[in-house]
Amino acid sequence: MDLATKEQSSSSAISELQRHLQDGSFVVTAELSPPVSTDPAEFIDHALALRGLVTAINVTDGAGSRAHMSSLAAAHFLVRSGVEPVLQITCRDRNRIALQAELLGAAALGIRNILAVRGDDPKLGDQPDTKPVFDLNTTALLATAQQMRSEHRLPSGTEIKGAVKFVLGAAELPVDPPAGWRPNGLVSKMEAGAEFIQTQFCMDPDAVRRYAARLLELGVAQKLPILIGIAPIPSARSARWMKEKLFGAMIPDRIVDRLERAADPKAEGRRICVELLQQLAETPGVAGAHVMAPAFHSAIGPVIEASRVAGTKRAGARRG
């Protein structure tokens, strides 16, 4: 895409996230879970602490298969506070009628960025007898949202009144691609309407380089921006748990070893995350990073700030 086309696309963007994805910026997003509370004040404070550091903040939807404040309500609080949300919507908890209602509610509340996700297995949560729904899968949810915004109709044919403006995204598991690997899942989501991808944790920069190179080779990364999931892991114990229990997470043994040897594991986890942010910013085919820290959210802001400072110093040294 030439400069004039980029500028035209950027000017027509309906969200800051879309604008930065289109103009070629290295995009950094973060993730927060709504509270188990009727008071959003602390949640808003955490989000405001990241304003100016991230382009948008994901609002999780029943992460870990646990109940919390409605993600739609929490995302609306962010909009009112001047923070751009990415509303996660799980297929686990709603049938297609409820999913369509959620999308209409999001559009009405000025929430533009939508991330379609499958949702964690209820058996892993604190109410294991919960019955999952899965009336639609993520590709079908994306296609539904795409139809609603492009045709201004529900799948039933009922006309939608008012604006329907969405930037659609999906989650994906990154891989260290074997010979001949093809990203069929990514392509299906892109064809259904996805305009960006946020991945599961991938703390292996070498695997990311191979993954991104393959996506570039196949012409996918040029069309579908990929944000790689990373974390400031606070301890070796946490790293081992992620490696062993978190499906699809890529946590190299060397990361576990560094945290194990560190005198201050939390500080070391932040350093590792800063290093990864810098490496991702220089990796062709990677559009950005998605920083997640469910039990260590206070580290997200300092990590992003530190990576920016280090990047500025590095750029200054190259110019000098």
User: Would 230 be classed as within a structural domain?
Assistant: yes
The predicted model gives 168-174 an average pLDDT of 97
Query: Is residue 95's pLDDT more than 70?
Result: yes
pLDDT attached to residue 60: 97
**Whether residue 218 has pLDDT greater than 50:** yes
H and E: helices and strands count for the chain: 12, 8
Inter-CA distances, 299 with 29, 233, 268, 279, Å: 14, 9, 11, 19
Query: Which residues, listed in sequence order, are joined to residue 59 by a DSSP beta bridge?
Result: 32, 87
Number of domains in the chain: 1
211 in a structural domain: yes
Q: Does residue 10 belong to any structural domain of this protein?
A: no
Report, as an integer, the average pLDDT of 194-199.
98
Tell me the whole-structure pTM to 2 decimals. Answer: 0.93
Determine the average pLDDT of the residues in 237-262.
96
169 has which bridge partners?
Answer: 115, 196
Asked if residue 3 is part of any domain, the answer here is no
Which one is predicted more confidently, 153 or 296? 153
User: Distance between CA atoms of 175 and 173, rounded to whole angstroms?
Assistant: 6
Range of the domain at 130: 25-312
Q: What are phi and psi of 293, to 5 degrees?
A: -155, 75
pLDDT of residue 294: 83
Band (pLDDT 50/70/90 cuts) for residue 133 is very high
Q: In this predicted model, what pLDDT tens digit does every residue of 3-52 receive, in sequence order?
A: 444 555 556 899 999 999 999 999 999 999 999 999 999 999 999 999 99
For the domain that residue 194 is a member of, what is the CATH number?
A: 3.20.20.220
- Is 18 domain-assigned? no
| Any domain includes 1 | no
Report yes or no on 19 lying in a domain. Answer: no
Average pLDDT over residues 121-130: 94
**% of residues, the chain, pLDDT over 70:** 93
The answer to whether residue 204 sits within a structural domain is yes
